[in-house]
Structure formats: structure tokens, C-alpha cells
Amino acid sequence: MAGVNKVILIGNLGKDPEVRYLENNKVVANLTLATTENYKDRNGNKVENTEWHDLELWDGLAKIAEQYLTKGRSIYVEGKIKTDSWKDDEGNNKYRTRIRVQNMTMLGSGTGGVGIAPEQRNHIEIPDSGSPPSNLDMETESDDLPF
């Protein structure tokens, strides 16, 4: 059976992008994204929980990140989980999990929810109005699902 590796995150950047230019005109940008959820615990106390995510953007998206993204900026990303493993100097197994971003939309004031990069046309834009995107209409005329 085939699996699905899909991540969708909306959050705020923890620092400015770190961009590196590699051989063969390859560009990579590394970002940290904070996602925060608020809820009340059993005693009615307000709790805020923040998770930090390492993001990796390549080529066109990396160049856009370098030009437009700064610490504190809100973004919407779609991507997949990638995990690296290695042994440290003492022979201990180490792991690093990151999100390889495939689509990105900048959110918040000043951008109007502008979509990124012409080659990324099939991304989802989140409107500032709070209404759901029109391309997420759940009613379809034909059902192509294999089950």
C-alpha cells in the first residue's frame, strides 16, 4: 500500500532565512517556523503551546524566501517530512527532522495573501478575509477515488 507524506503548516518565522547558493545554480533556504495553539486545561487555565519546525526551501522558493521573508512573517506552507540520521563522534545515533516545502503562501498585511512563484501555481492561497479558498470546494461532480 502506498503512503502519504504531506504536511500543512501556518505559523510565524522565528528568524530571517539562511540562504546558501550551491553548485549548479542550486539555492537552499532554511527557516524556522513557530506554530502556536491556545487552549484551556482541565482547571480552566489558559495554555499556550508552541512547536518549532525546521523548513527547507529549494531553488525558486528559496530565492523568494531570501527576498521577501523576515523574522515574524506569517506563512502557509505545504511540504513533506524528511528525516536525516547519522552517528556523532561518540557513535550515538542522531536524527534531524525537517519539512521540505513544496508550496508556500505569504500571509498577513502588506502581501494580500500573494501566491509564490509562477511554477508553483497549484498552491493554495489563503485569503485575508478568513473565508475558505474557492479551490477547496468539497462538492465535486465526479468521484475519482479508488475506493
The CATH number covering residue 56 comes to 2.40.50.140
* Predicted confidence (pLDDT) per residue in 20-40, tens digit: 999 998 999 999 999 999 999
Domain ranges, residue 109 = 7-133
pLDDT at position 146 is 54
On whether residue 143 sits in a domain, the answer given is: no
pLDDT at position 108 is 80
On whether residue 144 sits in a domain, the answer given is: no
pLDDT at position 144 is 52
* Predicted confidence (pLDDT) per residue in 82-140, tens digit: 999 999 999 999 999 999 999 999 998 644 344 444 444 334 343 333 333 333 333 33
Among positive and negative, which fits the CA dihedral 39, 103, 79, 88? negative
In the chain, how many domains are there? 1
Residue with cell 540520521: 85
Q: Is 26 exposed, middle or buried (0-12, 13-18, 19+ CB in 10 A)?
A: exposed
On whether residue 142 sits in a domain, the answer given is: no
